[in-house]
Amino acid sequence: MTRFPSTTAFRWSFAIALWTATASLILFAFIFWQTTSLERRENDETIERQLAYIAADPTEIVPRIQDWLGGGIHADRFAGYFAPDGRHLAGNITAIPSGLKRNGQVRDSTGPVSVSHSEPRDDLLCAALQRADGHVVVVALSDDDIERAKDAMIRTLGLALIPMILLSVIGGIVLSSRARRKLVATEGAVAAVMRGDLGQRLPAGAGRDEFDRLTANVNTMLDRIEILVDEVRSVGDAIAHDLRTPLTRLRARLERSRDEATSVEELRQAIDRGLEWLDQCLGLITAILRIGEIEHGRRRAGFRDVSLADCLTEAAEVYDPLAEAKRIRIDRAIDEGLPPIWGDRELLFEALANLIDNAVKFTPVGGRIHLSLRRYGDELEIGIDDNGAGIPLAERSHVFQRFYRAEPERHSRGNGLGLSLVAAVVALHDFTITLEDAVPTGCRFRIVCPLDGATGTARPRAGEPALVSAGVADQAEAPGS
Amino acid sequence: MGRLLLVEDDDETAEEVVGDLRRRGYEVERAATGPDGRAAAFAGGWNVIILDRLLPGCDGLSVLQDLRKAGDRTPALLLSALSDVDERIRGLRAGGDDYLTKPFALGELAARIEALLRRPVGAKEALLRLGTLELDLVSGRGRRGRRELDLLPRELKLLDYLMRRPGQVVTRAMLFEEVWNYRFVPKSNLIDVHIGRLRRKLEAAGEPPLIHSVRGLGFALMPDD
């Protein structure tokens, strides 16, 4: 784990504080510059206006100078009246400042200005005007105002900058430690998951920010992974169990026959029985491998245009004699002229055969199985109804899982993989299968096969690995049809 | 009988297969590696070549492809532990005549070799005769002696297949592949039920049986004279 000051969050908060301070400084500088130059312009105007006013009327020069000087409170006003020969006539400026153009324009004093009752001042804004009669009027204003304003602003800035930087650093620390706290909790949970505790979840935040959304997504992902791992685990257990049973029987039978068989014929019988059990094991393994192969979508090489009507008819025909033996009637209601779908003929046949096999198995003697294939808009719908006992609602979502067998069926033949294979084939084709109540009794498997509007075929997308439960929906309500 | 070449790397499997086939009267030679198998196959003189799909040294498929490129049409049966059905398609495309996935019953292998060795009877004929049995594929009518048989289309196909292979053992898997044209092992005793129904039609009360069951393997149609 990284030390706190070097965490990204802290570095970011520090950088933001620095950036805020810099930006504020620039802003202050701009305001400062704008303010002082405005004040400076105002002063210049005052001086120039006053100079023009004072110098306008020769008889009024002295009284106006007196007025001008009298108006200042802080002794910041200056003026001088000079004869053409430079002699001081009136005002508190005692000599014409050198280097000052006598055109009425303000200039920073280029040198010290001699004033009465004081040291020469070098901080004055001066303007001089030479009248037509040769007399010179000088008006000046101390720029103390501006300097004071400058000082005040710099002080204010200094005072404001320190708390501002402090504030942004504190804000940064608070924010980053909040993020840090979340992150530490998350890291802990992730570490637990990495150790193999898949039940662990990331702490969910109440907020709706990106981090909380990410957390929620990771949790959903963990939910899914947990389910899958559980599934794999229980499938593994089921395989082991289903293999152990016939193998145990086989072992016992071989042992007993070796000790007890008295004739070749007896041994042969034992071996035949043993071979049957072995075939059962091999069949189970083959079925598992096949389902895995189908689920991983590796069987698309056999995809071509397939007539579902033919597939369903042929599957039904294969089961006719078996159904007849049980006095079960297999009805067909197959629409004509249906477009082909894009799929694997053999796999579709196998899936349909499995469903019909299932239906024959669960329909009582003298019962009825109804097969249908219809087109509804852009979809073909296969229905396989039986009038057996049906499947309780609670068990429906399990029937497509590997090795699931409804309790009464647990002891019957079959490895519980038939419907898993159906689910895998359905998912491979991007179809969906639902299990519903048939009317009036029994259950109904309904497979919906989307047609691709333009070509009349559904071309499955490549890619995502099909899961056992993919494409399998659990329909709680009885069908409307 | 026939000369068979088995190209199989696993000693135990090879021993069982060779032993079984020799008992059945075949002359069998075994090659244990791809290069050996290739050399033996190209040497020629075989009636059927049994080729493992995965061999040390080279792929069984490439041996077969090279053989076919060289113009050799000796029937070839591919053995494979790969359950992937696309593998089978690939094997048949490479020039294989049949494909058997491990594990297999020895009887199944023997039945398939037999099928490869024997050409179906009357491949192009539309009227088949076997003993008192007669099948007219054009009209779709069958007769046993004078008795007219009422056959469903699928039963017709089934009988057609059997009559072209008289006395030959055909397994359930072979029937399903050839008659129904689907490759899968039905869970229930489906084939038996179909055969049973055909048998009832062929063998009326008192008539000698025509379709004989071969225990644990399949069926054979025997002529009745």
**CA distances (Å), B203 to each of A26, A56, A321, A460, B154, in order?**
109, 148, 18, 49, 18
Q: Check B103 against A282: CB less than 8 A apart.
A: yes
CA distance, residue A346 to nearest chain B CA (Å): 6
Check if the beta carbon of residue B64 is closer than 8 Å to that of residue B78. yes
Q: What is the mean pLDDT of chain A?
A: 79
Which band of pLDDT confidence, cut at 50, 70 and 90, is reported for residue B43?
very high
Mean pLDDT computed over A124-133: 84
Residue B142's domain comprises 127-221
Measured between CA atoms, the residue of chain A closest to residue B196 is A321
The stretch A189-208 carries a mean pLDDT of 81
Asked if B76 and B48 sit in the same domain, the reply is yes
* Across A123-127, A141-145, A241-245, least confident range: A141-145
Residue-wise pLDDT for A290-326, tens only, equals: 788 787 766 677 788 999 999 999 999 989 988 988 8
Both B49 and B110 in one domain: the answer is yes
Buried b (16+ CB within 10 A) or exposed e, A298-337: ebeeebeebbbbebbbbbbbbbbbbbeeeebebeeebeee
Class of domain A210-295: mainly alpha
Residue range A179-187: mean pLDDT, rounded: 81
Fold of A303-474: Heat Shock Protein 90 (3.30.565)
Q: What residue has token string 């899936």?
A: A351
Contact B216 A282 (CB under 8 A): no
**Do the chains contact at A357 and B154, CB–CB below 8 Å?**
no
B25, two tokens: 């009267």
Residues contacting residue A178 through CB under 8 Å, at least 6 positions apart: none
Task: Say whether B182 and A314 touch across the interface (CB within 8 A).
Answer: yes
The answer on pLDDT for A461 being more than 70 is no
* Pair A415, A455: CB distance under 8 Å: no
Q: How confident is the model at residue A339 (pLDDT cuts 50, 70, 90)?
A: very high
Q: Are residues B72 and B18 in the same domain?
A: yes
Mean pLDDT confidence for B169-179: 90
Specify whether the CB–CB gap between A76 and A126 falls below 8 A.
Answer: no
Q: Residues A7, A8, A14, CA angle at the centre, nearest 5°?
A: 95
Strands B98-101 and B76-80: parallel
Q: Which residues contact B37 (CB under 8 A, 6 or more apart)?
A: B5, B7, B31, B51, B55, B60, B63
> Would you put residue A370 in left (φ > 0), alpha (ψ -120 to 50) or beta?
beta
Contacts of A350 in chain B (CB under 8 A): 182, 184
> How far apart are the CA of B68 and the nearest CA of chain A, in angstroms?
23
Name the least confident of A333-337, B160-164, B214-218.
B214-218
Nearest by Cα to A370 from A384, A356, A359: A384
What is the least distance, in Å, from the CA of A222 to any CA of chain B? 31
| Structure confidence by residue, pLDDT tens digits, A388-437 | 877 777 777 777 766 555 444 444 445 567 888 898 899 889 899 988 88
A441 alpha-carbon distance from chain centroid = 47
Separation between Cα atoms, residue B52 and residue A479, nearest integer Å: 51
Kindly list the residues from chain A whose CB atom is less than 8 angstroms away from the CB atom of residue B196.
321
Tell whether A327 is within 8 A of chain B (Cβ): no
The verdict on residue B18 lying in a domain is yes
Between A293, A302, A322, which is nearest B188 by CB? A322
The reply to whether A181 touches chain B by the CB within 8 Å rule is no
Tell me which chain A residue has its CA closest to the CA of residue B195: A321
Question: What is the Cα–Cα distance from B76 to B195, expressed in whole angstroms?
Answer: 29
Dist. CA B77–CA B73, nearest whole Å? 12
Whether residues B7 and B112 fall in one domain:
yes
- Determine whether the interchain pair B184/A286 forms a contact, defined as Cβ–Cβ distance below 8 Å: no
Residue A103 pLDDT > 70 = yes
Distance between CA atoms of residues A53 and A127, nearest Å: 13
B102 plus B131 within the same structural domain: no
Inter-chain residue contact A301 with B89, CB threshold 8 Å: yes
Report which of residues A417 and A335 the model is more confident about.
A335
Asked whether the beta carbons of B2 and B23 are under 8 A apart, the reply is no
**Which tokens in the block code for residue A382?**
């296969």
pLDDT score for B207: 84
- Chain A residue numbers touching B183 (CB-CB < 8 A): 346
Residue ending a domain, among B117, B142, B157, is: B117
Q: Picking from A185-199, A353-367, A387-401, which range would have the lowest pLDDT averaged per residue?
A: A387-401
Average pLDDT, stretch B168-172? 91
pLDDT digits (tens, 9 = 90+) for B70-109: 999 999 999 987 666 677 778 888 889 998 888 888 999 9
| Spatial distance between the Cα atoms of A52 and A54, rounded to a whole number of angstroms | 6
User: How many domains does one find in chain B?
Assistant: 2
- pLDDT at position A277 over 50: yes
Q: Considering CB atoms only, which of B183, B186, B216 is closest to A353?
A: B186
CB contacts under 8 A, A 399-428 vs B, are 413-414, 418
Nearest neighbour of B184 by CB, restricted to A301, A346, A360? A346
Q: Is B100 among the domain residues? A: yes
Q: What is the mean pLDDT of residues A148-156?
A: 80
Select the more confidently predicted residue: A101 or A110: A101
Asked whether the beta carbons of residue B185 and residue A325 sit closer than 8 angstroms, the reply is no
Residue A16 · residue A168 · CB < 8 Å: yes
If asked whether residues B183 and B81 sit together in one domain, one would say no
Q: Is A194 exposed, middle or buried (0-12, 13-18, 19+ CB in 10 A)?
A: exposed
Reported pTM: 0.63
CB within 8 Å: A350 and B182: yes
Give the residue among B159, B165, B177, B71 at the shortest CA–CA distance from B116: B165
C-alpha dist (Å) from residue B191 to A113, A414, B222: 128, 17, 18
For residues B12 and B109, membership in a common domain is answered with yes
pLDDT at position A231: 76
Q: Is A74 helix (H, G, I), strand (E, B) or coil?
A: coil
pLDDT at A131 over 90: no
Q: Is the ipTM of this complex over 0.90?
A: no
- Do B105 and B167 share a domain, yes or no? no
Average pLDDT over residues B168-189: 83
For the segment A30-71, what is each residue's pLDDT rounded down to a tens digit? 888 888 888 888 888 888 888 888 888 888 888 888 888 887
The answer to whether A357 contacts chain B (CB < 8 Å) is yes
Record the tokens describing residue A9, joined without a space. 């969050």
Could you tell me the sign of the dihedral formed by the alpha carbons of A220, A222, A228, A234, in that order? negative
Look at A112 and B147; give whichever has higher pLDDT: B147
- pLDDT of A467 strictly over 50: no
Among A135-144, A182-191, A230-239, the range scoring the smallest mean pLDDT is A230-239
Tokens 């079925």 appear where? A287
Nearest Cβ partner for A289 among B83, B184, B187 = B83
| C-alpha span between A138 and A168 (Å, rounded) | 52
Whether residue B134 sits in one domain with residue B97 = no
Residue A381 has pLDDT above 60, yes or no: yes
Alpha-carbon distances of A334 from A309, A313, A322, B69, rounded to whole Å: 7, 8, 21, 46
User: Which residues 132-151 on chain A approach chain B with CB closer than 8 angstroms?
Assistant: none
CB-based contact A43:A143 (threshold 8 Å): yes
Spell out which chain B residues touch chain A, with contact meaning CB-CB distance below 8 angstroms: 83-86, 89, 101, 103, 154, 180, 182-190, 193-194, 196-197, 216
Q: Which residues on neighbouring strands pair with residue B27, listed in sequence order?
A: B3
CB–CB of B187 and A418 under 8 A? yes
Of A208-217, A321-330, B142-151, least confident by mean pLDDT is A208-217
What single letter denotes the amino acid at residue A405? R
Q: Which residue has the higher pLDDT, B84 or B204?
A: B204
Q: With an 8 Å Cβ cutoff, is A38 touching chain B? A: no
Q: What is the pLDDT of residue A72?
A: 67
The pair of structure tokens assigned to A426 is 């359905």
Q: Are residues B103 and B134 in the same domain?
A: no
Of A27-36, A47-56, A111-120, B44-53, where does mean pLDDT reach its minimum?
A111-120
Tokens of A23: 């930006």
CA distance A432 to A441: 23
Strand partners, A384: A371, A445
User: Would an 8 Å CB–CB cutoff place A266 in contact with chain B?
Assistant: no
B193 and B113 both lie in a single domain: no
Full DSSP string of A15-70: HHHHHHHHHHHHHHHHHHHHHHHHHHHHHHHHHHHHHHHHHH-TTTHHHHHHHHHH
> Cβ B184–A321 below 8 Å, yes or no?
no
The C-alpha atoms of residue A17 and residue A472 are separated, in whole angstroms, by 55
- More confidently predicted of A456 and B171: B171
**B198 in a structural domain:** yes
* pLDDT value of position A414: 54
H-helix or E-strand containing A402? Answer: none
pLDDT(A454) > 70: no
Query: Are A266 and A300 a contacting pair, CB within 8 Å?
Result: no
* Residue that is written with structure tokens 């289903």 in the block: A242
At residue B50 the predicted structure's pLDDT band, cuts being 50, 70 and 90, is: very high
Among chain A residues, CA nearest to B188: A357
User: In the structure encoding, which two tokens stand for residue A356, read together?
Assistant: 């019909």
Asked if pLDDT for residue B26 goes beyond 90, the answer is: yes
CATH 3.30.450 fits A9-147, yes or no: yes
Q: Number of helices (H) and strands (E) in chain A: give both, helices first.
A: 9, 13
CATH number of B184's domain: 1.10.10.10
Identify all chain A residues contacting B193, using CB atoms and an 8 Å cutoff.
Answer: 321-322, 325
Does B122 reside within a domain?
Answer: no
Last residue of a domain, one of B117, B150, B165: B117
User: Is there a single domain that holds both residue B9 and residue B111?
Assistant: yes
Closest chain A CA to residue B103: A282
Helices of type H across B134-208: 153-163, 172-175, 190-202
Residues 6+ apart with CB under 8 A from B128: B121, B122, B134, B135, B137, B160, B163, B164
Token match 């002529």: residue? B223
Is residue A341 classed as helix, strand or coil in its secondary structure? Answer: strand
SS3 content of chain B, % helix, strand, coil (to 5): 40, 25, 40
What CATH number is given to the structural domain containing B21? Answer: 3.40.50.2300
Domain ranges of chain A: 9-147, 210-295, 303-474
Q: B86, B90, B187: best mutation site toward chain A, by most A Cβ within 10 Å?
A: B187
Q: How far is A387 from chain B (nearest CA, A)?
A: 20
